[in-house]
Amino acid sequence: MSYLPVRVVTATRSRHVTAYATGLTFTKNAPGGHTSARVRLSLPLDEWADLVTNSRFYIYDPATGLPLFDGYVSNPTPNRGGNGNAFELSADGGRILAADDRRTLVYLDRDQEGWVRSPVATVVQSARTEFAPAPGADDTPGMLLGFSPGQPLGTGHRAAMRYTPLMPTDAMEAGAIASDYVGGVTSADYALELAWDGPVPGPGSTDVDTLSTTPDTMEYKAGGGTLPDGSRKLALALKRTGGATNVVDDDHWLHHANLRVLGRRMDRFGSLLSAADLTTTDYVLASWVIEDLIGRMMPFVDAGAALVYPSTTEIAQLAYRTPVTALTVFEALTLHEPDMLWEVLESVNDGHRFNFRPWPTEVRYLLSYADGWQARGTDVDLCNRVWVNWTDVDGRPTAVLVSAEVPSLGNRVRHADPINLPTGLGSEANAQAIGAEVLAANAELAESATMVVRRRVFDRLTGRWVYPYQIEPGYLAIVREPGTTLRVTEVTYDDDAQAATLTLGQPQLTLDQRLARLAYVA
Amino acid sequence: MTAPPYPRVDFVATPDTDAQVLYRFHINVGTAYVAHDGFDAGVPEWRGSPRATGATEGYRTLRFSHLIEANYDTAGQALSTLARLLVADDGWLLVQLTEASRPVWFRTWRTTPGGLSLERVRLSETREEVDGKFKIDMSLAADAYAVGARQTLATEVVMNNDPTEFTVFGDLAVLGEVQGDAPAPAVVEVEWGTARGNTYLLQSMSPPADYLSGPTSGTFILEDATADSTVNTGSQVADSLYLGGTYQPTAFPTGPGDVASFTWDDLSTPARQWFIVMRWAPDAVGGSIRARATLTVGTGFGLTGANAVLTASLEANDTDSSQYTVLGVMRIPQTGAPDELLAGASGATYQLAIELLDRDLGTEEINFDAVVMYAWDDKVRSLYVTTTDSDSDGGVPHNVDGEYEAVYLIDAFGNTYPDQFSVAGAFPLLRPGETNVLHLLMGVGVPLGESGADRGIGAEVAVYYRPRWLWVQP
């Protein structure tokens, strides 16, 4: 039997199976929460025919009676054979439910990938509809709409592009569209038109402005900000509003820079936000995205009890144009917020407890070398040069060589693996910044370790000496002898060994995490 | 069968004194003579390192030589009977040293049987006489502890859902002396006398003696907090349904973000771990009420100087009556010293604060009643039982059966119904040589039926157990 009480709940029965359980282990992570568990249940198989995937699986703290692990059977693995009947059962923590649903999620899209030429008949054949810098000296990237000289135009003829990712019905509805625009000529016979369509509002459009060489900005939001609620298609056009004419000069263009499309976010209870609550179109915060995910895709979370702390990193681009799970978004958010963590914990009144919170700054657990400190070295790879490559807004491959002073290399010149900046992040400043960071990081040793705790350790949060199975990841532990404070990122408890294996460390940022923090260019 | 010679070693059908005997290892019937020699009960395998926490005992191995001296037919029959018992999945082995001794039963499990030695067997031509003995080296795998006969520890103990009724310890029942060597699972029959809600908490604990010496050493009820809120907390309202006869109305006007806080200054309780619950009720304003309670201990105490924090979420409908919400376990005052060093120490004066954070939309109202602190140690075992049993006025007891890790009720026709219960946590244990206390709290932590955690609810409790022995009993 296991020491910790074990309970399995199927469609027809709830049963404590502590007496039949051996080899019990469970793992919790930060970020992540309850992750996985395994146990062998020596029970006659036919006694439990409805033990299937998705049956509930609990491990309790015997003293408080509260769940240490709360999850779902991922594989009951019934075994028959010479050694007798048994379920070699594995279970996933509640966080696996975040991988159930897939949606098209556009929180903030500045990318040109989502835009295509409008297929409507009023878009004339030779109209220019592409992403290119504005004509003239300016190198600003963006959407260029225009008519070529010699083009005959009638009233209502257009050069137009439309945004398609929000068209699937499972996608977010349009929340906002905004840009900084300028024209090649000032003329009241041409207009900047914004059009929409979707299941709820039906087709419609508005003329935002007349064509002008004076730069201006536009920002249309759903929820009362003049963009109708429920729009799923958006289009931007340069429209001939005057009478029939022939275009003479090569200045009939409209350029949208800093073009942003936002999906309409929800609050955690599933209510769509109003224009006022869609605070800005310049960035999204991880905490806003989390609130939306809870309301949109995570009905298994107790929304009322969920703790979502405000985050600060302004995310300039976060769009998934093919359906993704909430789990995928969480992983992306940790790139932007490495000092915050998310966790799906045990179920409470209305669903699982969910937190999105900063890593604490106060130490919770007091550990010591007596708990078997085993530092995990990382490979130190000293380098003093790195090439950073990107493609500029005009499509030219560009590269810059970043160098750093690494004294122990002396006169030796050693290159790190080249870095490729993703689309939208290519700039000289970003290249210099990331290059310097990577060279500096290669010269450092990240501090991390595993410890095996077999005794009670002091918990400063509750003031108690807690058992190894009560240790929770997502808090700080101090290892007394070196005085090192480290994050507890994983706890695996083994009931047979009565030991908790803690993974500690403040891992170095990955290249992806560093890239996620760069300023967005286009 | 003639009276068995002692010591008795028998395979029996059940661990009861009047159970059917399946095989007797020591009898003398007619020409048959069977016996046991060199009985060794072995010891349980102790797992983990000596200082390990949360260890469980493994199996033990019972060994003895079994001798059969009989004619061919009798010996053959005995060998076959024994072999079938050894091949079976499990069994009960009764061991009783003398007629006046306490019998103990070892739960045995199928394992590799011992060999049969024919070295001293000489069969006659007619096979009617035997010259020598069949010797079998018995080797039986058994559970760690032997169990004794079922004991009744308590019957008809009245337990109230009211920690203020100290005359009978309210929601606590102090049990009599527990026999045995090792902690034994309890079978608790809970018979509710009046209408009740659907979730209750049953805890077994073994508190130190001072815990029970007076009403204020083991249980503290905190009333009359200082309310300091941005929301409307109003004045205390008298109502006999609430502990201490009053409650604090608390209205959350807008929704998420509304905070009400209550503090108690200059508290002084013995230094130890406390199990802290909050009692409250939804008021009939608004629909469902959801809030988060956060309890903090004032700064500057003990080793850490940091706030100790417990949080829990509250939920109820306005049709529900009062309920208890478990906040958790906290040591007060905080200190890094082990429990043992704190025994008898008096605590420093400290401040305790509860903050209620509304987490639902709309106007809501909560009647905040009190915070109750129960002395706690790590031997407590907590079980949350949720039932759909509609027989709300009692009559049919709930069997909280620690031996089988199940809760069920048995109707008048003897049918067992485990399906009406959903059980979370650990089943109660009784610890020999210590004071054993049961704690029963109705209306804990989940949305309730209409009767909730009313003070007037009571239950009659009976407690049974089988003592667990390390060795056989003289």
Q: Shortest Cα distance from A172 to chain B (angstroms)?
A: 24
Q: Shortest Cα distance from A18 to chain B (angstroms)?
A: 8
**pLDDT given at position B271:** 73
Residue percentage of chain B with pLDDT more than 90: 21
**pLDDT given at position B285:** 60
Q: Are B330 and B310 in contact (CB under 8 A)?
A: yes
pLDDT band at B169 (very low <50, low <70, confident <90, very high): low
pLDDT band at B108 (very low <50, low <70, confident <90, very high): very high
For residue A412, give both structure tokens: 């030796």
8-state DSSP, A297? H
Measured between beta carbons, the chain B residues lying within 8 angstroms of A497 are 48
* Preceding amide of B253 cis, omega within 30: no
Q: Average pLDDT of A162-178?
A: 92
Select from B49, B56, B314 the residue whose CB has the most chain A CBs within 10 Å, as the one to mutate to test that interface: B56
Q: Average pLDDT of B6-14?
A: 90
pLDDT exceeds 50 at position A439: yes
**pLDDT given at position A315:** 86
Which spans in B299-356 are helix H? 339-342
Sole residue written with tokens 């709309």: B362
Measured between beta carbons, the chain B residues lying within 8 angstroms of A456 are 53
pLDDT band at B414 (very low <50, low <70, confident <90, very high): confident
Q: A60 to chain B: nearest residue by CA?
A: B425
Measured between beta carbons, the chain A residues lying within 8 angstroms of B427 are 5, 16
ipTM of the complex: 0.85
For residue B298, give both structure tokens: 């004032």
At CB < 8 A and 24+ separation, what contacts does B390-397 make? B392/B192, B392/B195, B392/B196, B392/B449, B392/B451, B393/B192, B393/B193, B393/B194, B393/B195, B394/B191, B394/B192, B394/B193, B394/B194, B394/B459, B395/B191, B396/B191, B397/B189, B397/B190, B397/B191, B397/B460, B397/B462
Residue percentage of chain A with pLDDT more than 90: 50
Beta strands in B70-225 (DSSP E): 90-96, 104-109, 116-117, 121-123, 130-132, 134-142, 146-147, 151-160, 172-174, 184-192, 199-205, 219-222
**pLDDT given at position A16:** 92
**pLDDT given at position B394:** 54
Measured between beta carbons, the chain B residues lying within 8 angstroms of A464 are 273, 329-331
- Count other C-beta atoms under 10 Å from residue B266's C-beta: 7
Q: Shortest Cα distance from B291 to chain A (angstroms)?
A: 8
Q: Average pLDDT of B359-388?
A: 84
Least reliable range by pLDDT among A158-167, A254-263, B283-292: B283-292
Pairing between β-strand A352-358 and β-strand A307-308 as defined by DSSP bridges: parallel
**pLDDT given at position B418:** 80
Cβ contact B406–A64 (<8 Å): no
Q: Average pLDDT of B438-463?
A: 72
pLDDT exceeds 80 at position B335: no
Q: A21 to chain B: nearest residue by CA?
A: B56
CA-based radius of gyration for chain A:
29
**pLDDT given at position A191:** 95
pLDDT band at A242 (very low <50, low <70, confident <90, very high): very high
CA-based radius of gyration for chain B:
29
Measured between beta carbons, the chain B residues lying within 8 angstroms of A9 are 422
pLDDT exceeds 60 at position B168: no
Q: Average pLDDT of A332-349?
A: 86
Measured between beta carbons, the chain B residues lying within 8 angstroms of A362 are 306
8-state DSSP, B446? S
Measured between beta carbons, the chain B residues lying within 8 angstroms of A13 are 418-419
Q: Are B306 and A362 in contact (CB under 8 A)?
A: yes
pLDDT exceeds 50 at position B145: yes
Task: Point out the residue among A7, A15, A454 whose CB comes nearest to the CB of B52.
Answer: A454
Task: Point out the residue among B53, B303, B426 whose CB comes nearest to the CB of A456.
Answer: B53
Please give the backbone phi and psi of residue A424, each rounded to the nearest 5 degrees, phi first.
95, -15
**pLDDT given at position A297:** 94
Cβ contact B426–A62 (<8 Å): yes
Q: Shortest Cα distance from B233 to chain A (angstroms)?
A: 22
Cβ contact B419–A3 (<8 Å): no
Task: Point out the residue among B361, B384, B425 whose CB comes nearest to the CB of A269.
Answer: B361
Q: Average pLDDT of B378-403?
A: 80
Higher pLDDT residue, B48 or A165?
A165
Q: Average pLDDT of A55-66?
A: 93
Cβ contact A465–B334 (<8 Å): no
Q: B48 to chain A: nearest residue by CA?
A: A497
**pLDDT given at position B346:** 55
**pLDDT given at position B306:** 46
Cβ contact A3–B422 (<8 Å): no
Cβ contact A461–B309 (<8 Å): yes
**pLDDT given at position B31:** 58
For residue A197, CA distances in Å to A77, A103, A106, B186 come to 50, 20, 17, 68
Sole residue written with tokens 């089943």: B427
Q: Average pLDDT of B134-146?
A: 91
Q: Are A19 and B405 in contact (CB under 8 A)?
A: yes
Q: Tell me the per-residue pLDDT of A256-307, one tens digit each, with 9 for 90 and over.
A: 999 999 999 999 989 999 999 999 999 999 999 999 999 999 999 988 778 8
Helices H, strands E: what count in chain B? 3, 36
Task: Point out the residue among B315, B328, B424 whose CB comes nearest to the CB of A349.
Answer: B315
Considering only CA atoms, which of B346, B354, B439 is closest in space to residue B400?
A: B439
**pLDDT given at position B1:** 46
pLDDT exceeds 50 at position B161: yes
Say how many CA atoms lie within 13 Å of A334 toward its Cβ. Answer: 18
Q: Shortest Cα distance from B309 to chain A (angstroms)?
A: 6
Considering only CA atoms, which of A60, A76, A69, A72 is closest in space to residue A97?
A: A72
- Count other C-beta atoms under 10 Å from residue A473's C-beta: 24
Q: B376 to chain A: nearest residue by CA?
A: A63
pLDDT exceeds 50 at position B448: no
Select from A22, A41, A60, A472 the residue whose CB has the most chain B CBs within 10 Å, as the one to mutate to test that interface: A60
pLDDT exceeds 80 at position A52: yes
**pLDDT given at position A132:** 87
Please give the backbone phi and psi of residue A515, each rounded to the nearest 5 degrees, phi first.
-65, -35
Q: Average pLDDT of A133-153?
A: 86
Measured between beta carbons, the chain B residues lying within 8 angstroms of A458 are 336
Q: How far apart are CA B300 and CA A32, in angstroms?
A: 33
Side chain identity, residue A57: F
Cβ contact A462–B331 (<8 Å): yes
Cβ contact A467–B51 (<8 Å): no
Cβ contact A65–B426 (<8 Å): yes
**pLDDT given at position B387:** 80
Considering only CA atoms, which of B180, B25, B196 is closest in space to residue B96?
A: B25
**pLDDT given at position B210:** 66
Cβ contact B273–A464 (<8 Å): yes
- Count other C-beta atoms under 10 Å from residue A222's C-beta: 26
A433 three-state secondary structure: helix
Q: B402 to chain A: nearest residue by CA?
A: A16
Measured between beta carbons, the chain A residues lying within 8 angstroms of B360 are 304
pLDDT exceeds 60 at position A64: yes
Mean pLDDT is highest, among B197-201, B266-270, B402-406, B410-414, for B402-406
Q: Shortest Cα distance from A270 to chain B (angstroms)?
A: 12
Ramachandran region, residue A297 (left: φ > 0; alpha: ψ -120 to 50; beta: rest): alpha
Task: Point out the residue among A60, A366, A464 whose CB comes nearest to the CB of B424.
Answer: A60
Measured between beta carbons, the chain A residues lying within 8 angstroms of B47 are 496, 498
Q: E strand or H helix at B218, and its extent?
A: helix B215-218
For residue B316, CA distances in Å to A515, B322, B449 come to 46, 9, 10
Sign (positive or negative) of CA dihedral B226, B229, B234, B237: negative
B235 three-state secondary structure: coil
Q: Are B65 and B36 in contact (CB under 8 A)?
A: yes
Cβ contact B422–A9 (<8 Å): yes
**pLDDT given at position A279:** 92
**pLDDT given at position B217:** 58
pLDDT exceeds 60 at position B39: yes
Terminal Cα-to-Cα distance of chain B (whole angstroms): 24
Q: How far apart are CA B460 and CA B434, in angstroms?
A: 23
**pLDDT given at position A145:** 95
Q: Shortest Cα distance from B378 to chain A (angstroms)?
A: 6
pLDDT exceeds 50 at position B301: no
For residue B269, give both structure tokens: 């309780």
A277 three-state secondary structure: coil
Q: B307 to chain A: nearest residue by CA?
A: A461
Concatenated DSSP letters for B80-107? Answer: HHHHHHHHSSEEEEEEESSTTSPPEEEE
Select from B297, B304, B431 the residue whose CB has the most chain A CBs within 10 Å, as the one to mutate to test that interface: B304
Q: Which residues pair with A239 in a beta bridge?
A: A158, A191
Please enumerate in sequence order all residues whose Cβ is within 8 A of that of A397, keeping only pairs 6 or more positions apart, or say none.
A389, A390, A391
Cβ contact A16–B56 (<8 Å): no
C-alpha angle with apex A158: A156 to A163, nearest 5 degrees?
Answer: 125
Select from A15, A56, A64, A459 the residue whose CB has the most chain B CBs within 10 Å, as the one to mutate to test that interface: A64
Q: Whole-number mean pLDDT of chain B?
A: 79
Cβ contact B313–A304 (<8 Å): yes
8-state DSSP, B339? H
Q: How far apart are CA A418 and CA A455, in angstroms?
A: 47
Cβ contact B382–A455 (<8 Å): no
Q: E strand or H helix at A87, and its extent?
A: strand A86-93
Cβ contact B378–A14 (<8 Å): no
Q: Whole-number mean pLDDT of chain A?
A: 88
Side chain identity, residue A374: Q
Task: Point out the residue among A455, A462, A496 whose CB comes nearest to the CB of B310.
Answer: A462
Q: B315 to chain A: nearest residue by CA?
A: A349
Q: How far apart are CA A182 and CA A162, in angstroms?
A: 19
Cβ contact A62–B47 (<8 Å): no
pLDDT exceeds 60 at position B176: yes
Q: A70 to chain B: nearest residue by CA?
A: B424
Task: Point out the residue among A348, A463, A496 whose CB comes nearest to the CB of B331.
Answer: A463
Q: How far apart are CA B24 and CA A469, in angstroms?
A: 45
Task: Point out the residue among A61, A62, A463 whose CB comes nearest to the CB of B308.
Answer: A463
